Every structure is written in structure tokens, then in C-alpha cells.
Structure 1
Amino acid sequence: MSQKIFQASAAPKPFCSPDLIGDADRLKEACGEHCRVEIIGHTLQVNIITDHQDAECAKAALQRRLDQAQLSDNWELLPGWTWIPASSDKRQCCNLL
């Protein structure tokens, strides 16, 4: 099975004012040293390399990482997500699954 990159975004929950840079660092640490977390606007965009074809599995793995980084109180996953063909440069992403 070929690997793909699952790309998802998390947004601050209503009435929360999270520390964008600090929370991005915490999520990156929870995902591993090769995780790619970007701040775009007021959202965190995360790329995950996975060989699972099920978006629900990938979203569940990302939610576990949000919980592990203790970010679930202030952040929620947005409904939209994207599959991207995995590139040969996998250092930008992390294997969560």
C-alpha cells in the first residue's frame, strides 16, 4: 500500500485565545521530531504520512496527538482535510499510524 500525506487543520475553540507558537511547538513535539506543523492564519496545519486510506483513522491519530499535547481544551479539528501523494522528502512529516 502506498503512503500518502493526510493534511488537516485545527482551529481555536470559541472564546479561547491559545498561544499559537507555543501550541504549534507542543503539537510538533507530540507528533515527533519529523512532524510538520505550520501556522496559517489562526489555524495549525498538520501533515501526517500514513499508509492508511481511511481518513477517520488519520483524524483519530491526530486527535490523540492533540490530547497528548494537552491541546484539546483549546483546539478542535476542522471538518476539511486533504490527501496529498507522499513525496520522497518525508522529513517534513511524521508517522503517526
Structure 2
Amino acid sequence: MPGLIRGVARTAVVAGTATAVSNRVSRRQAGRWADQEAQQAPPPQQVVYQQAPPPPAPPAAAPVSMDSKIDQLKELATLKEQGILTEAEFEAQKARILNG
């Protein structure tokens, strides 16, 4: 019986060694194939991105005539007199019209 166990143990060692060697050879060969494929593969395509042209500038606002500004100020004064606009709102809108 001890000879049988010794024989089984020796077979297991031989089989384990053979498996380890086989795995190592397989990994090495797979590495070589990968290197060959990398050398034979065409270079990757280079993607060139073009910058989109800037959007067109908005058209310049037509200058507001003085008559138009006066009409807007009269409307603001009317809204203030009716109590629709507060003094602060009136002043803010008046400044916007006069500066614009």
C-alpha cells in the first residue's frame, strides 16, 4: 500500500508540474501572438476635430430716436401716476430708457 500512495503522489507531482509548464508555455505564446498582431495592425486612425465657426453676431440694434424715448418716458409717468409702478421701478426704467 505505501508503494501505491508513493506512486499516486509521484503522478500528482508530475501532473502538477506538467500543468504549470503547459500554462506558462500557453501564456508566453499568447503574449507573442499579441505582440505580432500589434506589429501587423495598421496604425490607429487619427481623428481630426474641426472647430465650429462662431455664431454670427446679432444684428446691431437700431438707434432709438429721441421721440421714441420721450414716448416711453410719458408711458412710464402715466403708469407711475396710476400707481402701477413704484417710485423705485419708475426710476430704474427711466434710467434704462435714457441710457439705452
Bigger Cα Rg: 2
The verdict on a shared fold, with TM-score over 0.5 as the criterion, is: no
Query: TM-score, length-normalised on structure 1?
Result: 0.19
Identify, as 1 or 2, the structure richer in strand.
1
